[in-house]
Structure formats: C-alpha cells, structure tokens
Amino acid sequence: MIAENNLVLKNGIFHTLDARRPLAPAAAIRGNQILFIGSNEEAEAIFAGEVYTAVNLKQAAVIPGLTDAHVHFEWYSTGLQAIDAETPTLEEVLGKVEERTRSIPQGKWITGYGWNHNVWGENFPSAGQLDRVSPHHPVALVAKSAHASWVNSAALRLAGITDTTPNPPGGQIVRDPAGKATGLLLEEAMRLVDRIIPSPTPEELVEMVRQGMENANRLGLTGIHDMDQPSVFRAFQSLQRTGQLTLRVNKSIPLAYLEQAIAAGFQTGFGNDLLHIGPVKMFADGALGPKTAWMLSGYDSSPEDRGISTTDIEVIYESVLKANTNGLATAIHAIGDRANREILNIYAEVKRTQPFTGMRNRIEHVQLLSLEDSGRLAELGVIASMQPIHATSDMDIAEKHWGSRLAGAYAWKTQLEKGAVLAFGSDCPVETMNPLAGIHAAVTRRRADGSPGPDGWRSEQRLTVEEAVRGYTIGPAYAAGMEDRLGILAPGYLADMTILDRDIFTIDPMEILNTRVLGTIVDGKFAWRDASL
C-alpha cells in the first residue's frame, strides 16, 4: 500500500450517501479518517502549513468503499490456480482436465470450479467421463452452485466411497438405477472428497489470500464479509501483522466451531476495525441448480422433489439461541421458501424468548420467499444478505423450477420497501466478485448481453443506483455493527473509497458494466491505484 498521511482528493464527483451533503468535489483525509468533504479550496486549506499529497481526480466519481457482504475468500483465493470449469460445453471442460494431466505428476489432484449442466443442456455428468481423460489423477470439480461435486473414479477410491457407502446426513451420493455411484456428490457428501484433498501450507495460503485481496482491490472492494473456514482467518491475521491486509474483514465462524468460539470468549465485533469476528454461519438447505433448495411444495419441473434440509432445524434453533445469548450473531444460508420460513420461525422464537440480545442476525441469499413471509425479515430485524448477480445468472433455471412462485424470488425491492436492511455481496467464487456487476444486476435485472430485454427480468424488483450502492456500503456496515463510522463519506468516518472512471449515478445503467475502477482507498491509503490517476 502507498503510505499517505495527509491526503486531498480534489476535482471529483463525490457521492457521499450522507444526506447532509450528498454531493461534493473534494475530500481531505488524515491517517485513516475523513476530515472534510466539500470544496476543493476548503479541502486543501485543511492542511495549511502541513505536508500533504493532492490527487487530481479529473472528474472521476467517488463513492463510499464497496463491501462484498458474502464471499468465500479462501475458496476464491486457492481457486485462482484451479481449472475454470464454467464452459459452454461438457467437452470443453473435459479438454481442460486432459490438458492439466499432462503438466502434473500422476496421482496429483486436479480441482476446478464452475460447471453447470443446465448450460450444457445435458444430464448430470459422471465419473466415467472424467475417467476417460484422467485415469491416473484424482479429479474433483465443484459445480457453479457450490452444492455439487463431480469426481472421477480415482477420487471415489481415495475417499473410500463405494456403491454401498451410506449417504451422510444432509448429503447424497448420487447412484444410477443399478445402485452404482455415478461420481456426483451433493451437499454434505461433497465433504467426503473435500477432506482428503491436500490443503496449502499456511505460508502458501497467506500468499494466495494476498493475491486474492489484490484482485479484490482492483475491482473496487474495500471490505468483505467472509463465509469461509478458520484457516483463512489465520491468513488474514498474518497479513494484518505485516501491514498487508488491504480489505476490512468481517470473519464468520462456521457452526462446527461455535462451542470453541464461546469457550474462547469470542463475540461478534471482537477485534478491530480492519479484522473482526462476524456471525456464526449455518446452512438450512442447498441450492437451486441441483434442486436441493428446501421447498414448501415440489419444484415445477419435478413436483416430487422438495429439496434438502441440510441441518436439523432443532440443531439450528439451539445453535442460534446459544450463539445469540453469548454475544454472537448468526448468518444462515436459506434459498428455498421452506428453508427461509423455517429460519424466520427460529429467529422469531429466539427473539420472543431472548428479546434483549440485540444481535443483528442475517439470512444469506433469501432467494425465494413465500409472499406471506415477505415482510418478516423487516419485522424481526433480520438482515437480508442477498447477491443481485444470482438473479441474472439464475433467471432461466428459476423460471423452469420456480415459475409459479417467482413473485417472491430475488425480491430485493420488496425487501427494501418492507423495511429490511439489504447487505449485498457476490457469493464469489459462485459468481464474479466484481461489485459493479452486482450493482448492474440490481439496477437493470439484465445480463451483460442485454437479455432478457430492456425492462429486465421481473422488472418490478429493479433498484435505483443509489439503492444498489447502499446495499454494498451502508448495508454491510450496519450488518457489521460499524454504521457509525463506515458506509458513507462524512467527516469522522473511516476513509474507505472507491474511485470510478465515470459517474454511475448518471450514465445509462447498462454502461455500469463498462466502468473502470481507478482507485481503491482502504483505511486512508491507496490499496489500488490506476496509472492514469
């Protein structure tokens, strides 16, 4: 990071999200704090008689630093070396696997992410297809939904999975009509293979995370709410000790570590403004793609399927109660309408029995709500942690599986109107980490190619640019308990800013995707700065 103590940014277009002064041309920063927002002359006068650095923004737009409120950062960072399996055809990804086998020793694992059988227009893939191109290397490719793994026979053997291996709780080893394991693992069954894939060393992980942060800064991100494993927390701590932590990190705790966290005295917010403890992460169901999202009634495409409850509801209730009474908020993955209802029921019961904990509990994704549940997040004070780009990615398959229920799908405008707090993210690496892609999706409900048309998909759910930006700034700050010092550009607030080459508040919304990040300021210092700035 470039060390700057006194910094003046002038000749810009500052969208502050502060009602007291929503627009201004300049800002003055001392250390990690904003001192002044206002005119160019007054900003420079702040440091009269002092040494300071002035940056001419040349009419670039500046917004509060963007935060991704739902990202799997270790998975993303370690995946930078994995195969990109998000291909238009099955044969293309098989070709990538075959090519990788030529460059690594036999027996070494080949991993990848992103395949989507719905795009391929085929049934789920099988181990036999991977065996043909990789007979001597174990292969594990995670689906784009992140709720299914496609593995070859070598991987099945190493994991000890046979045709008679029982399904683990909350998971499924998919089998053909003859009872033979196909190589497709759903939900918790994925862990049977995941746990035997060699992990990077702590030193390797630190470097991978550092590279991942650099990418995030280039995309305009100043903060993340991480939903990954404890190992990445240690990497974040290492980077903070050496002054290389260039993102504000709100770090969740997996449910499996709840007892240890309580015993250690951890509470949500414990830490400092750069790195602190977030909520306890749990799962209520699966995902739309593999039809493991837990539904109130059957999928339109297969009425006999109602998805999967991945964690016993009583376990979730007891865990939320225990977490909240010990000062830990919770964040629960819920995609299907049944999963969301069950979690809302749990939050309502916990609030009834423990009304004074003040925990800012969340639901992660909120992809489908029954219309009768649409106002309950606001009523209960539950944060709607949603990912706008899921809507544009999923719209075709959502039409197929949920067509009769789409009025309650990806309904962020409804949540806003009901009074819920929106905290937007990407679910990276399920989707791109680019927050501008998320803002574009929230505002247009259209893909990059313009589909499905000028009005977008379910156009009644479109947001204004300001509403979308607030979802990446004020919303995550509130979710992290930092709204008194983060999320807007105002004197006394932390100096986190995203600098853009054009004013996304005034351009054609489809042009948001073409916007370039010119600079990212984290804690008063440039974490990323384009050569043109």
Q: Is 370 exposed, middle or buried (0-12, 13-18, 19+ CB in 10 A)?
A: middle
Query: How far out from the chain centre does Cα 299 lie?
Result: 26
Edge-to-edge, what's the strand order for the sheet holding 13-15? 23-24, 13-15, 61-64, 497-500, 517-522, 525-529
| Domain 1-65+487-533 = CATH 2.30.40.10 | yes
3 state SS of 241: helix
CATH of domain 82-194: 3.10.310.70
Could you report the per-residue pLDDT of 206-247, keeping only the tens digit for each?
999 999 999 999 999 999 999 999 999 999 999 999 999 999
- Whole-number pLDDT of residue 3: 41
CA gap 357, 399 in Å, rounded: 40
The predicted structure's pLDDT at residue 4: 54
Task: Give the global pTM.
Answer: 0.89
Contacts of residue 394, defined as CB under 8 A and 6 or more positions apart, other chains included, come to: 288, 289, 367, 410
Provide the token pair at 236: 């974040």
Q: What is the DSSP string of 139-188?
A: EEEEETTSSEEEE-HHHHHHHT--TTPPPPTTEEEEE-TTS-EEEEEEEG
Give residue 394's pLDDT. Answer: 96
Q: Which residues of the chain are under the pLDDT cut of 70? A: 1-4
**pLDDT the model gives residue 81:** 84
pLDDT for 146 equals 84
Per-domain boundaries in the chain: 1-65+487-533, 82-194
Say if 1-65+487-533 and 82-194 have the same CATH topology. no
DSSP 8-state assignment for residue 285: B
Burial class of 453 by CB neighbour count within 10 A (0 to 12, 13 to 18, 19+) = exposed
